[in-house]
Structure 1
Amino acid sequence: MRGTHTTTTRILTTLFALLALQLGSLVAPAWACGCGAMVTRPEERIGVDQEQSAVHWDGRTETIVMRFRVHGNARQAAWIMPVPRRADVTLGDPGLFDAIEELAAPEERERSYFWPREDDWPFDSGRGDAASVGAAPGGSVGVVGRERLGPFDVARLTATDPDALGDWLHANGFRLPDRLTPELRPYVDRRWEYVAVRLAPEQKDVPLYGELTPLRITFASSELVYPMRLSRLAETRQTLDLSILAAHRMEPRSPIGGEHPEVTFSGRIDRPEGPVAALAGDAPVHLTVLRQRFPEPSRIDDDHVLRTVADTPYRQVIHRERLLTVAGIPAWILTAAAGAAVIAALTVFLTVRANRRRRVPSAA
C-alpha cells in the first residue's frame, strides 16, 4: 500500500509539471480553458484572450475542435487536456468556427419608437453618432504517440509511467511546480489519458500571438464529456463558449460551480455543408450553442457531462431600434405639427364665431 501511495504521488507530481505556470504565467485569462492548462517557460508570459470549442458526438465517439487566441511574449507554450480514452490528434479546420457562427447568428428585427431619445434631435446637441454597441496495458505505458502537426508537437501520454512523462517535461524545459498537485488526482484515479501539446513555431524568435491553428482531438466515449475541472485554477472570471453537434439538443447535467448555462442557439441542421459536414457528416444534426460564466473559478468541481433534452429550437433576437419616421420626417414632429395645426384652426374657428355673435344686432 505504501509503494502504491508513493507511485500515485509521483504520478500526480510529474503530471502537474505540465501545469507549472498555470497561475503564474497566464495574463488576465478570461476564457474557460477546457483544454486543461496553458503553460510556458518561467521567464515568459502568455494569456488566452479567447477559446473556441466545437464538439461532435455520435453516441460512441467524441471529437473536440479547439482554437485559442493568445497574447504575450512567449515564444513557446504548451497545454494539457485530460481525455477518458486513447485519443487521435490532427489539425482542425479554422473555417469551422465561422461556419457555426453563421448558422447560429441571431435574428435581427427592427423595432421603431415614437418619442425622440437622447441621441435624437433635439436632444443630441450636435454630438454626432454614438459608438455601436483506456487504461495502459500492464500499467507501464508512458508516451504512446508523438506527432508534429504544423506548429504543434503533440505527445499522447498515460498517467502510469512518471519517469517517461518526466523525461518529456525536462526535454521541453518545464520546471516542477510546488502546489495544486491534487487537481489531477480525479483523472489519475479514473485512469484517464492526456494529450500534451507544445506550440513550437518554426520562427523561434517570434512570440505567439493571435489565433492559433485549431486542434482536433478524437476519442471513444459513451457520454458527451467536456473537461473543465482544471479551469478551477484560474484567478479571474471565466467564460465558456461551446458548440455541440449531436443527434439531439444537448445541455449540461449541472452548472459544476458556475452560473446556469445559457443556450444561445438550438436548431436542426438538415444539410450540413463545408467544415460542419467535415466534422459531423452530411446527415441531419442538431446544433446547440452554450455560454456559461464562472464568476468564481475555484468553485468548479467537475467536468461537464452533457445530456439529451427536448429538441426545442431557439435563436436569439436582436432588436435594432430606430426613430419612427414618415417620408424621412420623424413621426413625432409630424404629429406635433398636425396637433398644432388643429389647435390653430380650432382657435381661428372659435375666434371668428365669437366675433360674428357680437356683430348680430339685438331684436327691437
Structure 2
Amino acid sequence: MVTAWWLRRSAQLLTAVVMATIGLVVVTPPAMACACGGMVQPPGNSTTVTGETALVTQGAGRETIVMSLSAKSDAARAGLLVPTPAPATPALADRDIFTDLADQTAPRSKERHHFFGPPLFFGDHGSSGSDNEARSSPAGVQVLGEVDLGPLKAVSIKANNAADLHSWLDSRGFVMSPQFEALVTPYLDKGWAFTAMTLTAEGKSLTGTLPPVSLEFASDTLVYPMRMSSGAKETQHVRTYVLADHRVERTDPTATQGQLHTAYADRVRTSLVTSPDLKRLSAGKAWLTEFTQTFDHPGEQVRSDFTFARAPHDTPVVHYAYRDEYFIPVDVAVLLVVSAAAIAGAIVLIRRRQRRS
C-alpha cells in the first residue's frame, strides 16, 4: 500500500514538473517588434526594430510614453516616426526604468511546505533555476520644435497630408513607401502630430539597443499608437506597461484580436523603484499593469491604436516562483517504513516462538 502511494505521488510530481516546464515555454516573452512608430531609412538600406518595450502613463491632461528600442540595420542613420495626439516633447529616459519594471513584474518567491520531499541519498542533487540641423521644410509641414539628444535628434512636426510628409522626409534623405503613406494618413486626418527622430550611430550600423526615449504630450485619454503596425509582414509581439491609479484594461477594437494577456497587475512596490524617471512617473500612481499581445497576421488583426480604461476590479495578477520545503526526504520515509515493518515483523515472530515454546 505504501509503495503504491509512493508511485502515485511520484507520477503526480513528474506531471507537475512537466506542466511547469511547458508553462515556462509558453509565457516566456519572445522578441518584440516596433509597435508605435514607423521606420524609414536612406535608399538602399534596411532597418528593422527587433525589440521594443513601452511604458505609458497619463495624468493632469498629460501623457508620457517611454520606449526602449533595439534595431537591426545595415545603416548608420535611420528615421523613426511616432504619432501622438498632440505635439510631443522628447527627452532621453533613464536606462534603469525598464530594469525596475522587470523587477516589479518578476515572479515572486513563495514557500510551499510538503511532508515528503525529494530523495536524500538517491537521485539528482543538482539545482536548477528559472527564470531592452534644422533645415527648411515644405510648406505643408510645420516644425514645432527640435532637440539634439546625442544619438537621437528629435523633431516635433505636423503635416497637412502624406505627400507633404513624404517631401519633408525626402529632403532629409529618407524614403517613405506608398504603403507607409497609407498608414500615416489616418493620423494626419485626425490632426495628430509626429515626432521624427533621426537615429545615428557615428559611422557604425544601428544594430543594437538604442537609448530609451520619453515622449510627453497633451492628452485627456490614455492611448498607445499602434495602428501603423498593420503594415508589418512578420509576427508582432507587443508589451506595454501602464501606470495608473487602478488596474487598467484594454478598450480598443484590437484588444479582441491576436493573443492578449494581462501578464501582471498589482500595486507599485516603491521599495523596488530605483530609477529617478520611474519614481517621478509613478508618484501618485498606485498600480502597474502589464499587457502582452501577439499578432500572427498584423495586417488583419491590428485595427486601431491601444486605449486603456480603469478595470472593473483591482484584482492582482501575480506569478510566483515556488520554493519547496520538505519535512522528510521520501527515501528516508521509505527506509523508516521498511524498518518499522521489519521491526514489527520481528516482534511478531518472536512472540509466536515464545507462545510455541
Given that residues 267 and 313 in structure 1 are in contact (C-alpha distance below 8 angstroms), is that contact kept between their aligned partners in structure 2?
Answer: no
Distance of 2:287 and 2:344 partners within structure 1: 64
1:266: which partner in 2? Answer: 266
Superposition CA RMSD, Å: 3.0
2:20: which partner in 1? Answer: none
1:221: which partner in 2? Answer: 219
Distance of 2:104 and 2:279 partners within structure 1: 13
From 229, 239, 244, the equivalent of 2:242 is 244
Give the length in aligned residue pairs. Answer: 315
How far is the alpha carbon of 1:164 from its aligned partner?
Answer: 5.2
Between stretches 175-184 and 191-200, larger displacement belongs to 175-184
Query: Structure 2: where are the runs of 5+ without partners?
Result: 1-29, 132-138
1:336 and 2:338 correspond = no
Corresponding letter in the other structure for 2:280: A
Distance of 2:175 and 2:182 partners within structure 1: 17
Over 3 Å counting, the alpha-carbon distance change for 1:181 and 1:47 in structure 2 is: closer
From 308, 311, 314, the equivalent of 1:309 is 311
Corresponding letter in the other structure for 1:89: P
Structure 1 segments, 4+ long, off by >4 Å, are 120-124, 128-133, 161-164, 268-273
Deviations 1:282-338 (A, max 9, x none): 445432222222233221100111112246152523233547364xxxx11121111
Distance of 1:294 and 1:163 partners within structure 2: 29
Distance of 2:314 and 2:162 partners within structure 1: 47
Distance of 2:142 and 2:79 partners within structure 1: 18
Corresponding letter in the other structure for 1:302: S
SS at match of 2:102: helix
What TM-score, normalized by structure 1, do the two folds share? 0.75
Distance of 1:243 and 1:195 partners within structure 2: 21
Given that residues 30 and 237 in structure 1 are in contact (C-alpha distance below 8 angstroms), is that contact kept between their aligned partners in structure 2?
Answer: no
> Looking at CA atoms only, which structure, 1 or 2, has the larger radius of gyration?
1
SS at match of 1:324: strand
1:17: which partner in 2? Answer: none
Given that residues 244 and 250 in structure 1 are in contact (C-alpha distance below 8 angstroms), is that contact kept between their aligned partners in structure 2?
Answer: yes
2:322: which partner in 1? Answer: 320
Distance of 2:183 and 2:166 partners within structure 1: 18
1:157 and 2:153 correspond = no
Query: Structure 1: where are the runs of 5+ without partners?
Result: 1-28, 134-138, 360-364
Aligned identity (percent) is: 27
What is the 5 A alignment of 1:108-147? 108-111=109-112, 114=116, 116=118, 122=122, 124=124, 132=130, 140-147=140-147
Given that residues 269 and 286 in structure 1 are in contact (C-alpha distance below 8 angstroms), is that contact kept between their aligned partners in structure 2?
Answer: no
What TM-score, normalized by structure 2, do the two folds share? 0.77
1:31: which partner in 2? Answer: 32
Given that residues 79 and 198 in structure 1 are in contact (C-alpha distance below 8 angstroms), is that contact kept between their aligned partners in structure 2?
Answer: yes
Over 3 Å counting, the alpha-carbon distance change for 1:184 and 1:48 in structure 2 is: closer
Distance of 1:163 and 1:178 partners within structure 2: 10
1:89: which partner in 2? Answer: 90
Distance of 1:163 and 1:235 partners within structure 2: 24
1:296: which partner in 2? Answer: 297
1:184: which partner in 2? Answer: 184
Deviations 1:81-118 (A, max 9, x none): 1111122112212122223333333321133564649x
Given that residues 162 and 188 in structure 2 are in contact (C-alpha distance below 8 angstroms), is that contact kept between their aligned partners in structure 1?
Answer: no
